[in-house]
Amino acid sequence: MPNYDCIIIGNGSIGLSCAYELVNSSDKNFKIAIFGKKTREGSASLAAGAMINVFGEIEYDTLKSKEGLIKFQMLLKAKDLWLKQIGKIKNEISTKLKLNKGTYILNNSSADELDDENFNSIEKSLKQFNEPYSYVQAKDIKGYNPQPKSRSLKSLYIPNENFISSAKDLLDSYDKILNSKKNISVKNYLIKKIIVKKNFKEVVDENGNKYTSKNIVIASGAYSNALIKQIKQIKNRIPDLFFGVGNAIIAEAEKLDLPKCVVRTPNRGMACGLHVVPLDKKNIYIGASNRISDVPNNNALISTSTAIMDSLLREINQNYGNLKIKKMCVGHRPTTSDTFPLLGETSIKGLYIATGTKRDGLSLSIYIAKCIANSILNLKNKYNFPKVFRPERKIISTLTVKEGIEKTVKHRVSAAYQHSLEIPKTESVESYKESIRTEVKGLYKTANLKKGVPPEILNLYKYKKIFNK
Q: Do you find a cis peptide bond into 288, omega within 30 degrees of 0?
A: yes
The size of the chain, in residues, is: 469
Cβ within 8 Å of residue 345, ≥6 positions away: 351, 352, 375
Per-residue pLDDT in tens (0 to 9) along the chain, 469 residues:
799 999 999 999 999 999 999 999 999 899 999 999 999 988 999 999 999 999 999 999 999 999 999 999 999 999 999 999 999 999 999 999 999 999 999 999 998 999 999 999 999 999 999 999 999 999 999 999 999 999 999 999 999 999 999 999 999 999 999 999 999 999 999 999 999 987 789 999 999 999 999 999 999 999 999 999 999 999 999 999 999 999 999 999 988 999 999 999 999 999 999 999 999 999 999 999 999 999 999 998 898 999 999 999 999 999 999 999 999 999 999 999 999 999 999 999 999 999 999 999 999 999 999 999 999 999 988 999 999 999 999 999 999 999 999 999 999 999 998 888 888 888 899 999 999 999 999 999 999 999 999 999 999 999 999 987 7
How many angstroms separate the CA atoms of 327 and 341, rounded?
A: 29
Instruction: Give whole-number Cα distances, 327 to 39, 252, 284, 286, 300, in Å.
Output: 15, 10, 11, 11, 10
pLDDT at 338: 97
pLDDT at 418: 87
pLDDT at 424: 86
Please give the model's pTM, rounded to 2 decimal places: 0.96
pLDDT at 236: 95
Secondary structure of the chain as H, E, C letters? CCEEEEEEECCCHHHHHHHHHHHHHCCCCCCEEEECCCCCCCCCCCCCCCEECCHHHCCCCHHHCHHHHHHHHHHHHHHHHHHHHHHHHHHHCCCCCCEEEEEEEEEECCCCHHHHHHHHHHHHHHHHCCCCCEECCHHHCCCCECCHHHCEEEEEEEEEEEEECCHHHHHHHHHHHHHCCCCEEEECCCEEEEEEECCEEEEEECCCCEEEEEEEEECCHHHHHHHHCCCCCCCCCCCCEEEEEEEEEEEECCCCCCCCCEEECCCECCEECCEEEECCCCEEEEECCCEEECCCCCCCCHHHHHHHHHHHHHHCECCHHHCEEEEEEEEEEEEECCCCCEEEECCCCCEEEEECCCCCHHHHHHHHHHHHHHHHHCCCCCCCCCHHHCCCCCCCCCECHHHHHHHHHHHHHHHHHHCCCCCCCCCCHHHHHHHHHHHHHHHHHHCCCCCECCHHHHHHHHCCCCCCC
pLDDT at 81: 97
pLDDT at 209: 96
Q: Cβ atoms within 10 A of the Cβ of 388, count?
A: 14
Task: Please choose, from the candidates 128, 417, 42, the residue with its C-alpha nearest in 3D space to the C-alpha of residue 265.
Answer: 417
pLDDT at 331: 95
pLDDT at 142: 96
Q: Which amino acid is at 186?
A: V
* Phi-psi region at 402: left, alpha or beta (left = phi > 0; alpha = psi -120 to 50): alpha
